[in-house]
Chains A and B, each alone.
Chain A
Amino acid sequence: MNAALRSLGLSGITGNPVAFAVALALMALLLFVPAAHNDYFNLVFRNILMYAAMAYGWNLIGGYTGYVSFGNVAFFGIGCYCSGVLSTHGVDSLLADVALAVAVNALFANLLGRVVLRLRGPYFGIATLGIGVAVAEIIANLDALGGTSGLALHQVDEAHFGVYYYAMWLVALASMLGTFFITRSKVGYAFVAVRENEDAAAALGIPATKYKIRAWMLGAMMGAAAGAVFAPANGFIDPSITFSPDSNVFPIVMTILGGIGTVAGPFIGALILAGVNELLQRYIVNAHTLFFGTMIVLVVLLLPRGLVWLFGLRGGVRAWLRSLTAYRA
């Protein structure tokens, strides 16, 4: 993975300050969405925030620590079910939901990490992919959790709807700022050192495994929190919703699109990707997926280093054109 980020063209750990400023500004802007008093926008942007939080979770382990996980959806899903279980036991408190989800997933990630974080590269990737699939299938087979029929949480009414939005906004903001402060702290530098070269990191006194597990846990907590808010907001959860391929792939795609291993990347990626997807879905009903795919292909070819890199680009168009051939064989 170290090769991966070497070529991001981002020097310094938090990536590009301009991009981060823009991201913060946009995040602040999203605080005013409920002012539109339009449930549709609430939902659209709540989902964007949700994906952003999940993307930040993935970015910590996949982007900063260089362990590419395909299983973070498990944390989101378990987070959802924590709220589900509480709700079926008559507890309808977002705080409780988030608290439980974060605690459970921190523990789960910790235990799991001790096993899977021994693996490297693709082998880690597949092991985590398996975790996602396995957790989903196990839950689908537990009648206690509703099995494939899922769980119906208390019905969402108009009054709550805004609350869920703000809750998700807080989760996303926390994930973004969390990432920012983590990555500027000693811990963050340990993550990146591990990503860049585990042996060299060890030679500098960094216990790699310990920090891998930390990154994995922190990431899990972000995804879990997003799930804990999503479940009651959606009012109903089942394995096909909480462990959907989208919830697994989108955060990764968004992070790559925005810029791996940067603080602004996941959020900007989420905003653009979900935003464009929404517009296509709406105005090109019959072929939106086709256009969506085409757009992704073009973005990768035109901005192989992610959108955030554009902010840091020096030398204008010429430099950009030159950069396009950088990865040719």
Chain B
Amino acid sequence: MILRPTAALGVLALAATVLVPGLSARADTDTIVFGSPISLTGALTKEGHLTQEGYEFWKTYVNAHGGIKVGNKSYKVDIKYYDDESKNDTSAQLAERLIDQDHVNFLLGPYGSGTSFTVAGIAERKKIPMVEGNGAAERIFNQGFKYTFGVLSPARRYLEGVLEMAVHQKPAAKSVAITSASDAFSQEVAQGAATWAQAHGMKVVYDNKYPDTATDVSSVISALKGTNPDLIVNAGHVQDALLVQKGLKDQNVMAGGYGYTVGPDTPDFANSLGKDANDVFGAAQWSDAVKYKGEPGFYRTAQEYAKAFEAAYHHRADYHNAESTAACLAFQYAIERAGSLDPDKVRDALAKLDVVTFYGILKFDSRGLNVYKPMVVNQIQNGKLVTVWPAGLAEAKVIWPAPPWGKR
């Protein structure tokens, strides 16, 4: 008998706690608060952490150097994170919470195209600018969103560098096999690669996808093996790169080269594969070999950035770190140029933005996409990630064709 009212009350009480607006985390007036729903748990935890490092690294720098100047007042910056659990269907709620409960000034993008898309929709509705560095799927930018900007080169161009590099080798790659995970980003990458290859007289001998939840891709690989291509590329995420690379060795698939989108550039790749990671190509939005002279206000060259970053996080800065930092930079310069924190003014400033940074040029086309920055190609050469393409930035000669398995 005692419990019945208790239960009723309990239910009501809980309903109330959720109902009653929580204490809004609106910070004091001399702080600019950014919000980001990000993958802290779930399948994309690693990628989420790389993104967060990129953001945090920028935050520390800016706050250490007097913050962002708006007019004649300097603001400290703060970033509020929520965990989207690597699920596309949770980020919407988190974005609303950041905007309505925590009253963040601006949004920094989550990791991944699916989540970025959802959040972009909300940013649009709430007229809160979002700059994202980790959602390359072009569909995000074909919706006519006015408040979403992406600092990275679009998905379809991810593998162009690798392909271009391959056709310039001796012997030149004449055929390519494309494997891809079934998620939106990977599919756009794969289509882009296929289109580029055909346009440049490369024969696409194999082009097939597998479910992005696959735990074994051996059948895809043995199918691909029959076509013995000069170049094998995979469009996917870190997990895919590891699966495919292991699979290729398992089945002793030989090709001139092996190219991946996300993967080789993250420390995990070499760490888990050891010698078998050697001679693999990774498409990258950025590498610490790029030679840009950025504007003042932040580390001006990739090299300075990389050095400071490694000191801070004890691992080499990969392009996820850099592009995330770049997203923050876009805001920093836009806010300074706008001379105001008004979302619309900042939005317009972003649209007009045209600056060179350690990461490359930050400039957005009418859709809000940064199509002005080239991709680079890295290769793992005996355990070390070196940039090999475009030729102008090459730190080392391309190793081509790759030596047989076991001899790497």
Contact = CB atoms under 8 A, between A and B. Distances in A.
Q: Do chains A and B touch in the complex (CB under 8 A)?
A: yes
Interface string A260-274: 000000001001100
B335 to A, nearest CB: 25
B100 interface: yes
Interface residues of B, number: 49
Given A271-B15, A285-B40, A317 B187 contact: no
B12 interface: yes
Interface string A211-234: 000000000000000000000001
A198 B170 CA distance: 73
Given A279-B17, A286-B83, A311-B4, 10 more contacts: A40-B97, A40-B99, A148-B183, A152-B139, A155-B121, A246-B87, A271-B14, A278-B93, A307-B11, A311-B8
B21 interface: yes
A317 B3 contact: yes
22 contacts: A26-B12, A29-B19, A41-B19, A43-B92, A149-B139, A158-B125, A236-B117, A236-B121, A238-B184, A240-B89, A240-B114, A244-B89, A246-B87, A246-B90, A281-B82, A286-B83, A289-B83, A289-B85, A307-B7, A307-B11, A310-B7, A311-B7
Nearest to B118: A236
A150 interface: yes
Contact of B15 (A26, A38, A244, A281): A26
B87 A44 contact: no
A38 B1 contact: no
Contacts, number: 138
A14 to B, nearest CB: 17
- Counting from the closest, the 4 A-B pairs by CB-CB distance are A40-B100, A310-B7, A316-B2, A40-B96
Given A40-B96, A157-B125, A313 B118 contact: no
Interface in B117-139: 117-118, 121, 124-126, 137, 139
A279 B94 CA distance: 12
B143 interface: yes
Contacts of B184: 148-150, 238
Contacts of A275: 14-15, 17-18
Contact of B93 (A43, A236, A247): A43
B187 A148 contact: yes
B4 A310 contact: yes
Given A148-B183, A289-B41, A241 B14 contact: no
A54 B176 CA distance: 46
B292 interface: no
Contacts of B8: 18, 22, 311
Given A155-B125, A240-B114, A314 B1 contact: yes
A47 B7 contact: no
B83 A43 contact: no
A26 B11 contact: yes
B222 interface: no
A238 B114 contact: yes
A152 B143 contact: yes
B1 A316 contact: yes
Contact of A281 (B83, B188, B211): B83
Contacts of B121: 155-156, 234-236
Interface of B: 1-4, 7-8, 11-12, 14-15, 17-19, 21-22, 40-41, 81-83, 85, 87-90, 92-94, 96-97, 99-101, 114, 117-118, 121, 124-126, 137, 139, 143, 182-184, 187-188, 211
Contact of A18 (B4, B17, B125): B4
A155 B97 CA distance: 19
Contacts of B41: 289
Nearest to B9: A22
A244 B87 contact: yes
A48 to B, nearest CB: 8
Contact of B100 (A39, A272, A307): A39
Contacts of B11: 22, 26, 268, 271-272, 307
Contacts of B126: 39
A140 interface: yes
A307 B4 CA distance: 11
Given A26-B11, A289-B41, A316-B2, A41 B21 contact: yes
Given A137-B211, A278-B18, A240 B1 contact: no
Query: B17, B40, B94, B100: which has the most chain A beta carbons within 10 Å?
Result: B100
A44 B40 contact: no
Nearest to A157: B125
A187 interface: no
Given A47-B93, A238-B114, A311-B8, A317 B82 contact: no
> Which interface residue of A33, A39, A246, A316 has the most chain B CB atoms within 10 A?
A39
A106 to B, nearest CB: 25
B21 A36 contact: yes
A205 interface: no
Contacts of A140: 182
Given A275-B15, A311-B8, A241 B3 contact: no
A43 B99 CA distance: 12
Contacts of B97: 40, 282
Contacts of B90: 246
A310 B143 CA distance: 50
Most chain A beta-carbon neighbours within 10 Å: one of B40, B85, B88, B137: B88
A289 to B, nearest CB: 5
Most buried by B among A137, A152, A317: A152
Nearest to B211: A137
Contacts of A278: 18, 93
A18 B40 CA distance: 41
Nearest to B2: A316
Contact of B22 (A244, A282, A289): A282
Contacts of B82: 281-282, 285
A317 B125 contact: no
A238 B187 CA distance: 14
Contacts of B87: 244-246
A147 interface: yes
Contacts of A244: 87-89
Contact of A241 (B99, B114, B124, B182): B114
Given A149-B184, A310-B7, A156 B89 contact: no
